[in-house]
Amino acid sequence: MSAKSVWPYYRTDVVSLSPWLAPIIWEGTFDPALIDLIYKQYNFTIATTVFALGKYTRFLKDLLESAEQHYFIGYRVHYYLFTDKPEAVPEVKMSENHRLTVRRVPSLDRWQDISMGRMEILEKLIANELINESDFIFCLDVDTKFYGHWGAETLGRLVGIIHPWFYDFPRNKFTYERRRESAAFIPDGEGDYYYTAAAFGGMLEDVYQLTKTCRQQMNIDRENSIEAIWHEESHLNKYFLYNKPTKLLSPEYLWRDINIPADQIRVVRFSHIAKNNSEVRSHH
Ligand SMILES: CC(=O)N[C@H]1[C@@H](OP(=O)(O)OP(=O)(O)OC[C@H]2O[C@@H](n3ccc(=O)[nH]c3=O)[C@H](O)[C@@H]2O)O[C@H](CO)[C@H](O)[C@@H]1O
Ligand SMILES: [Mn+2]
């Protein structure tokens, strides 16, 4: 390891440490070659889940093809793809050590139920299958695409991504659930960051607890006939408030749209794609 590895990997225009000393990963704060040197030897497997139901199968080709250019290249990756239309899953050539498993899941009428229902499916997947085969897991929205490197610098026990709309907003602007009646309620004056639910991850045990808790809290809400303002994202934010992520990823790891620039974003690694919600979602 050369001195080059140590210097000058820091930035003064962004905060790269949370108040509880979890690193916040920004381009220019780490050396990817050094990270590979450290992590490659462990031969970790990274399970990666994607849901594509209804019209959302149209996003799969771009997401998977771009992932095969940028996502954990040279590491073991096992994609789990959940869909109600297995026949609509495109053929995408996997790089070495990457493989894909397709699972059929029932269709659901409301897009909110599809989005929230992911937590329970992930909880079961981790408990029943992944415990003996993977080390880490990332759970990704499908209306997304990779544009840059996403590698082992993202690995940690519990990994949250700062939401691309709120990273430079004060806490009182965060769209936490503010109704006491919901299990996702966060009082004014509390909260650290606003995290996206479109991507999160970590070690299996930790993500298992997260998915289980969010599923339980959403069940409590359902019994009380209330649905949190941003669905599972509200519950995820509540979870991360009381179970702090050990690593945070900057919005480079989930940007809002590749065509929107921002001073602090030197690299867009992964981004939501522009979509017409009313056209692509079912109407219920
Ligand atoms: C950037 C961000 O904060 N994104 C959040 C926002 O997402 P979005 O507005 O991006 O929600 P979305 O439409 O992408 O739905 C979330 C995910 O559910 C799946 N899906 C949804 C509908 C459908 O018909 N078929 C299907 O497969 C698919 O994997 C999709 O990526 O709000 C959602 C629910 O409030 C989630 O919290 C998302 O993480
Ligand atoms: Mn999305």
What atom of ligand 1 comes closest to residue 196's alpha carbon?
3
Mark 174-196 as b/e (b = at least 16 C-beta within 10 Å): bebbeeeebbbbbeeeebbbbbb
Task: Using the atom order of ligand 1, give the atom closest to the CA of residue 281.
Answer: 24
Give the integer Cα–Cα distance in Å for 119 and 211.
5
Give residue 6's pLDDT.
57
Closest-lying ligand 1 atom to the alpha carbon of residue 197: 39
Whether ligand 1 lies within 6 angstroms of the CB of 78 is answered as no
Q: Which residues are catalytic?
A: 233
Backbone angles phi and psi of 79, in degrees to 5: -80, 135
Residue 135 to residues 19, 125, 203, 257, Cα–Cα distance (Å): 27, 13, 6, 30
Token pair listed for 265: 């974003």
pLDDT at 3: 44
How much is the pLDDT for 96?
A: 93
Residue 115 CB-half CA count within 13 A: 22
Output the CA 242–ligand 2 centroid distance in Å.
Answer: 25
- pLDDT tens for the chain, 284 residues: list them: 444 555 678 899 999 999 999 999 999 999 999 999 999 999 999 999 999 999 999 999 999 999 999 999 999 999 999 999 999 999 999 999 999 999 999 999 999 999 999 999 999 999 999 998 999 999 999 999 999 999 999 999 999 999 999 999 999 999 999 999 999 999 999 999 999 999 999 999 999 999 999 999 999 999 999 999 999 999 999 999 999 999 999 999 999 999 999 999 999 999 999 999 999 998 65
The answer to whether the CB of 142 is under 6 A from ligand 1 is yes
pTM beyond 0.90: the answer is yes
Do 114 and 197 touch, CB atoms closer than 8 A? Answer: no
Residue 25 Cβ inside 6 Å of ligand 1? The answer reads no
**DSSP letter (8 states) at residue 169:** S
CATH class of the domain comprising 3-280: alpha beta
Instruction: Count, in order, helices (H) and strands (E) of the chain.
Output: 6, 10
**For the CA of 283, the nearest ligand:** 1
How is the chain split among helix, strand and coil, in percent rounded to 5?
Answer: 35, 20, 45
Residue 144, Cα to own-chain centre: how many angstroms? Answer: 11
Residues 257 and 274 sit within 8 Å (Cβ to Cβ): yes
Nearest to 143 by CA among 282, 235, 277, 234: 277
Structure tokens that stand for 276 in this block: 């017409």
Q: In this predicted model, what pLDDT tens digit does every residue of 212-249 receive, in sequence order? A: 999 999 999 999 999 999 999 999 999 999 999 999 99
Residue nearest atom 3 in ligand 1 by C-alpha distance: 196
Q: Is the CB of 80 under 6 A from ligand 1?
A: no
How far apart are the CA of 109 and the centre of ligand 2, in A?
Answer: 17
Burial 27-48 (b: 16+ CB within 10 A, else e): bebbbeebbbeebeeeebbbbb
Kind and range of the H or E run holding 76: strand 76-83
CB 199 within 8 A of CB 159: no
Q: H-helix or E-strand containing 188?
A: none
Look at ligand 1, atom 7, and give the residue with the nearest C-alpha.
198
Q: Is 198 near ligand 1, meaning CB less than 6 Å away?
A: yes
Q: What is the ipTM of this complex?
A: 0.93
141 CA → ligand 2 middle, Å: 5
Does 197 contact ligand 1 (Cβ within 6 A)?
Answer: yes
Helix (H, G, I), strand (E, B) or coil at 20: coil
Asked if residue 232 has its Cβ within 6 Å of ligand 1, the reply is yes
Contacts of 259 (CB under 8 A, 6+ apart): 274
- Closest to 239 measured CA to CA, from 204, 202, 211: 211
In this prediction, residue 10 carries a pLDDT of 83
Of ligand 1's atoms, which has the minimum distance to the CA of residue 232? 37
pLDDT of amino acid 93:
97
Question: Which residues, at least 6 apart from 133, have a Cβ–Cβ distance to it below 8 Å?
Answer: 45, 47, 78
User: What distance in angstroms lies between residue 77's CA and the mean position of ligand 1's atoms?
Assistant: 23
Q: How far is the CA of 199 from the centre of ligand 2 (A)?
A: 9
pLDDT at 7: 63
pLDDT at res. 266 = 96
